[in-house]
Amino acid sequence: MTDFSPFSPGPMLAGRRAVVTGGAAGIGAAVARAFAAHGAHVLVADIEPVGVLEFDGAAGGSLTDVVWDVRTTPCPSVLAEHRPDILVNNVGHHLRAPHTFATDSPSLWDELHDINFAHVLRVTRALLEGMIERGAGSIINLTTVEAHRAIPGHAVYSGYKAALTGFTRSLAAEVGPRGIRVNAIAPDLIESVQVPYSQLVPEQDRSLWPIWSPLGGPGQPRDVAGVALFLASDLSRFVTGGTVHVDGGTHIAGGWVARRSGGWTNRPRNP
């Protein structure tokens, strides 16, 4: 008999349990809402309380939170006690404006390591044992397009995000035989708390979006949430170790260009 289940309508995560780090706002909040709308019971771990994240509750999903800074140890026991089938390691940040590596402080390297890579290792390790025991799971790591191309002024940030991509691939190979999939999402040009394009791009320059990105832009947090939903669900049951680029095409189209006045831009005004 033909199995039509991957193509049937209805909630894609009914009854499943998820942990999303950094889910109080931006991309993380969009992911948490999408999962809950598709029937998942979502626990958000964030340095700020979640407050009210509205979603369509018809599928029976729920949203709860734990206030926790992912840079602190140990991981709260409530994360493992939630018994998640899905983990989204969403937290990451470049922390400061572009700055050359030659003038970077080693203390900044440590900060960038903790917020972009070390906490992913800790949270994943804390929840992986339970996934192995239950014989299933989907781990989704948020990287960036800059894990795959240069970003002048953020060399250390880029390096740690590239390390996260390598971790994703190798862990996928390790735990695949235990029924656990590990994938990454690499956003770019997404409206977010760290990069608010609605404020950064002046009104007179917004007609240039089709030049900066094949699909125009900017993208929205929901664009990333849709891919996370796919990677969390059975629609991607045979997908592991990969990276999905949610960037409007910037990764395939090019990268940074030098300004005549100095510095770099990926949004030239006079291309």
In order of 69, 103, 214, 247, 261, the CA distances from 258 in angstroms are: 37, 20, 20, 21, 8
Q: How far apart are CA 51 and CA 65, in angstroms?
A: 9
Catalytic residue among 117, 157, 167, 212: 157
- The two structure tokens encoding residue 266: 């990926």
Exposed / middle / buried, residue 219 (Cβ in 10 Å: 0-12, 13-18, 19+): buried
Exposed / middle / buried, residue 68 (Cβ in 10 Å: 0-12, 13-18, 19+): middle
Is 160 considered catalytic here?
Answer: no
User: Nearest Cα to 115, choosing from 62, 59, 66, 154?
Assistant: 154
Residue the block writes with tokens 């203390």: 107
Identify any residues that bridge with 187 across adjacent strands, giving them in sequence order.
Answer: 246
Q: Please name the helix (run of DSSP H) or strand (run of DSSP E) that holds residue 259, with its range, or none.
A: none
Alpha helices, H only, 49-102: 77-81
CA angle 225-231-237, nearest 5°?
160
Exposed / middle / buried, residue 214 (Cβ in 10 Å: 0-12, 13-18, 19+): middle
Confirm if 27 and 195 have CB atoms less than 8 A apart.
no
Confirm if 129 and 164 have CB atoms less than 8 A apart.
no
Would you name the residues annotated as active-site residues? 157
